[in-house]
Structure 1
């Protein structure tokens, strides 16, 4: 009996160990290509594959990045870009999710607004950048507005699709139990829509940075986009690549953060699957 208890007690530890080993193994596999890319980046300019003046080794880029961090210059540009992107992204969430839920839930709203949605969903945000700058100026307002426009559509369209693709059996079951419409929407439609809505949010999160960087390259005096353009004009190529590397890392962090948030909001679905 004691042997059975000891074996049972050891099972969770063994399972946790296997899970940890599997996680480490997966991390190693995912890191192999990145490590090879960094090695290639370091060696290619040194052996003459690329001109070091235009494509510096990875170590030079890291040194330039460290210099920008120590001087505080990178933080100033980073903070400016983050404030703009977060402002536009937050406004897009406040606008797109409620509007998407309404359009997805009410057929009349969908019929009335669908032509407008089809028109603007196929319009590239950067194509409208000159319009935003002419109307709103070259200050902060135009940059936040272009991020708002770019982020709204993936969130809005995914929210509409999420509501429309909810399992009809769930809705029928809730209605058969005489669940009030508001409670049906709150307890059934909204939770079932969360995964698809977060797909749009993740797309918008990474898109917010990319659109903003392009806007900062045109008219700005600070920000990561300005840092890249300024470094290019002054032939500070390692600093330019340091700015590009910062944007890539920032996009990765935003995507990972939104993924973790999505898992927290979708715990009920994981429990059902288990």
Structure 2
């Protein structure tokens, strides 16, 4: 190399870039084994179910009988109509509960006065099961769609509001103090620091709220429903129609699992800035 030539250094990725690359590689490596384990667990579960049904445990219907019944309900349009009705109720109640829970949780976490005023009510209603409010909902709201959605809304709200509140309370004070030292006002600190730092808690609360919403669905559809998975299962119970009950259970589980996976995907995309251990 001549004296006039200047050596060019290769660009060395910074710590953040290396962390992102390592996380991406780790995710790719862990995806296939996790998917394989899920498939193995599914096969083992269906196999154990088939063996129990074959052994005649409490007249348990086997996977083939349940699949045949599901095919019949799909062919006559019953299952799609019921699934859409239940999905509409869950989505409405869950969306309303989450939309209200996030600002209420922020208020409780950011303003001590709001916390003192709202926390007793939140904690009180958390100890009262939403299902216990069904008689009151019927008396006050009638027997239409409103009381069904209200019970689901309450279950989702109470599960999400505490997570949002805890997310604000758990923000590192060092981050808030550093932003204020740099001249940020309270509104800027809240939007730029508190909200992003609270996002993981909010998303976890949303996942818990979604599970609570689906868990409340069957009881909510006790309120004079004419369609829905819970309604269909209750009708099947009267005639001891176990395959139809299993179809309803599996449909609820599959829909809830798909919605949970979507929330988990959103959580991973919105919290990429977090360090992973």
**Larger proportion of helix:** 1
For residues 137 and 42 of structure 2, what CA distance do their matches in structure 1 show? 38
For the Cα contact (< 8 Å) 2:138–2:223, is it kept in 1? no
For the Cα contact (< 8 Å) 1:217–1:225, is it kept in 2? yes
Partner residue in 1 for 2:231: 226
Partner residue in 2 for 1:41: 49
Deviation at 1:235, TM superposition (A): 2.7
Distance 1:177 1:78, change over 3 A: same
TM-score w.r.t. the length of structure 2 is: 0.86
For residues 59 and 163 of structure 1, what CA distance do their matches in structure 2 show? 50
SS, match of residue 219 in structure 1: coil
Between 226-235 and 164-173, the greater mean CA deviation after superposition: 226-235
Partner residue in 2 for 1:252: 257
The count of residues paired between Structure 1 and Structure 2 equals 255
Partner residue in 2 for 1:162: 167
Deviation at 1:85, TM superposition (A): 1.2
Partner residue in 1 for 2:104: 99
What are the within-5 Å matches in structure 2 for residues 120-135 of structure 1? 120-135=125-140
Partner residue in 1 for 2:148: 143
**Any unmatched runs of 5+ in structure 2?**
1-22
Distance 1:143 1:188, change over 3 A: same
User: Could you tell me which of 167, 187, 196 is aligned with 1:191?
Assistant: 196
What are the within-5 Å matches in structure 2 for residues 26-105 of structure 1? 26-48=34-56, 50-51=57-58, 54-105=59-110
Moved over 4 A (4+): 15-22
What are the within-5 Å matches in structure 2 for residues 256-267 of structure 1? 256-267=261-272
Deviation at 1:164, TM superposition (A): 0.3
Distance 1:197 1:24, change over 3 A: same
Partner residue in 2 for 1:24: 32
TM-score w.r.t. the length of structure 1 is: 0.87
**Any unmatched runs of 5+ in structure 1?**
1-14
For residues 97 and 22 of structure 1, what CA distance do their matches in structure 2 show? 32
Between 147-156 and 217-226, the greater mean CA deviation after superposition: 217-226
For residues 153 and 147 of structure 1, what CA distance do their matches in structure 2 show? 10
